[in-house]
Amino acid sequence: METQALQGSRWRRAGRALAAAALVASGTVVWTLGAQTPDVAQAAEPLKSLVPAPVSVSATAGVTFTLTSTTKIYTQAGDADARSVGDYLAGVLRKSTGFALPVSDASGTPADGISLLLSGANPSVGEQGYQLDVAANTVVLKAIRGAGLFGGVQTLRQLLPAKVEASTVQSGPWTIPGTAILDYPRFVHRGAMLDVARHFQPVAAVKRYLDQLALYKVNYFHLHLTDDQGWRIAIDSWPRLTSVGGTTQVGGGAGGFYTKAQYQEIIAYAASRFITVIPEVDLPGHTNAALTSYAELNCNGVAPGPRTDTEVGYSSLCVSKAVTYQFLDDVIREIAAITPGPYFHLGGDEAQATTDADYKTFMDKVLPIVKKYGKTAVGWHEFVKTTTDTTAIPQFWDTSTSNSVVAAAAARGNKVIMSPANKAYLDMKYNASTPLGQDWAARIEVQDAYGWNPGAYLNGVGESAVRGVEAPLWTETLVTSANIEYMAFPRLAAIAELGWSPWSTHNWDQFKLRLAAQGPRWTNLGINFYKSTQVPWETTTTTTTTTTTTTTTTTPPGTCPAAWDRTKVYTATNVVSHNGRKWTAQWWTQGEEPGTTGQWGVWRDSGAC
Ligand code: NGO
Q: Ligand 1 center to residue 330 CA distance, Å?
A: 26
CA of 248 to the centre of ligand 1 (A): 18
Residues with CB under 6 Å of ligand 1 are 312, 349-350, 380, 397, 425, 427, 438, 474, 476
At 439, the pLDDT band (50, 70, 90 cuts) reads very high
Q: pLDDT digit string (tens) for 158-191?
A: 999 999 999 999 999 999 999 999 999 999 999 9
Core vs surface per residue 414-450: b (16+ CB within 10 A) or e: bbbbbbbbbbbbbbbbbeeebbbbbbbbbbbbbebbb
Of all residues in the chain, what percent carry a pLDDT higher than 90? 80
pLDDT band at 593 (very low <50, low <70, confident <90, very high): confident
Q: Bigger pLDDT: 559 or 124?
A: 124
Residue whose CA lies nearest to ligand 1 atom number 4: 474
Q: What is the mean pLDDT of residues 342-353?
A: 97
Antiparallel, parallel or unpaired: β 28-31 and 22-25: antiparallel
Cβ atoms of 10 and 313 within 8 Å: the answer is: no
Cis omega (within 30 of 0) for bond into 173:
yes
In testing the pocket of ligand 1, which one of 12, 225, 314, 350 has its CB within 8 Å of the most ligand atoms?
350
CA of residue 342 to ligand 1 center, whole Å: 24
Quote the pLDDT of residue 566. Answer: 75
Centroid of ligand 1 to alpha carbon of 111 (angstroms): 53
Positive or negative torsion for Cα 422, 424, 427, 430: positive
Atom of ligand 1 nearest to the CA of 397: 8
Q: How many CA within 13 A on the CB side of residue 36? A: 27
| Nearest CA, atom 10, ligand 1 | 397
Rounded CA gap, 281 and 219, in Å? 20
Indicate if the pLDDT at residue 1 is higher than 90: no
Please pick, among 334, 350, 485, 497, the residue that the annotation labels catalytic: 350
Question: Which of 170-179, 235-244, 571-580 is predicted with the least confidence, judged by mean pLDDT?
Answer: 571-580
pLDDT over 90 at 149, yes or no: yes
User: Helix (H, G, I), strand (E, B), or coil: what is residue 453?
Assistant: coil
CA of 559 to the centre of ligand 1 (A): 41
The pLDDT of residue 592: 67
Residue nearest atom 11 in ligand 1 by C-alpha distance: 312
* Number of the ligand 1 atom closest to the C-alpha atom of 441: 14
Supply the pLDDT for residue 540: 55
Which residue lies with its CA nearest to atom 13 of ligand 1? 474
User: Which whole-number Å values give the CA distances from 450 to 48, 96, 441, 454, 485, in the listed order?
Assistant: 18, 31, 16, 10, 17
| pLDDT of res. 608 | 80
pLDDT tens by residue, 286-305: 999 999 999 999 999 999 99
Q: What is the pLDDT of residue 560?
A: 83
Task: Identify the weakest region by mean pLDDT among 258-262, 302-306, 347-351, 544-548.
Answer: 544-548
* Cβ–Cβ < 8 Å for 9, 310: yes
Q: With a cut of 90, say whether residue 193 has pLDDT above it.
A: yes
- Choose among 318, 328, 314: nearest CA to 296: 318
Q: How many residues does the chain have?
A: 609
Determine the pLDDT at residue 128. 98
pLDDT at 558: 58
The whole-number pLDDT of residue 47 equals 82
Q: Which atom of ligand 1 is nearest to the CA of 310?
A: 12
Q: What is the reported pTM?
A: 0.86
Pocket test for ligand 1, best of 193, 310, 312 (most atoms within 8 A of CB): 312
State pLDDT tens for residues 596-607: 643 334 667 777
The mean pLDDT value of the chain amounts to: 89
For residue 425, give the ligand 1 atom closest to its CA: 14
pLDDT at 46: 84
Q: Is the pLDDT of residue 6 over 70?
A: no
Residue 58's DSSP bridge partners are 30, 180
- Output the CA 473–ligand 1 centroid distance in Å: 9
Residue 240 CB burial class (10 angstroms; 0-12, 13-18, ≥19): middle
As a whole number, mean pLDDT of residues 520-527 equals 98
Whether residue 450 is predicted with pLDDT greater than 50 in this model: the reply is yes
Lowest mean pLDDT among 221-235, 406-420, 484-498, 560-574: 560-574
Ligand 1 closest atom vs CA 395:
8
DSSP 272-314: HTT-EEEEEEEESSS-HHHHHH-GGGSTTS-PPPP--S---S-
- Closest ligand 1 atom to residue 347 Cα is 8
Give 440 Cα–ligand 1 centroid separation in angstroms.
Answer: 10
Instruction: Please name the residue whose Cα sits nearest to atom 5 of ligand 1.
Output: 474
Does residue 350 have an active-site annotation? yes
What's the pLDDT band for 441 if we cut at 50, 70, 90?
Answer: very high
Distance (Å, rounded) from C-alpha 80 to C-alpha 118? 11
By mean pLDDT, which of 64-73, 359-368, 423-432, 585-594 is the weakest? 585-594
pLDDT higher at 152 or 581: 152
Confidence (pLDDT) at 238 = 98
Query: What is the C-alpha to C-alpha distance for residues 247 and 405, in angstroms, rounded to an integer?
Result: 37
Q: Are residues 19 and 49 in contact, defined by beta-carbon separation less than 8 angstroms?
A: no
Is 44's pLDDT higher than 70?
no
477, pLDDT greater than 50? yes
Q: Ligand 1 test: best mutation among 315, 345, 474, most atoms within 8 Å of CB?
A: 474
Please give the helix or strand (H or E) that residue 493 lies within, else none.
Answer: helix 491-500
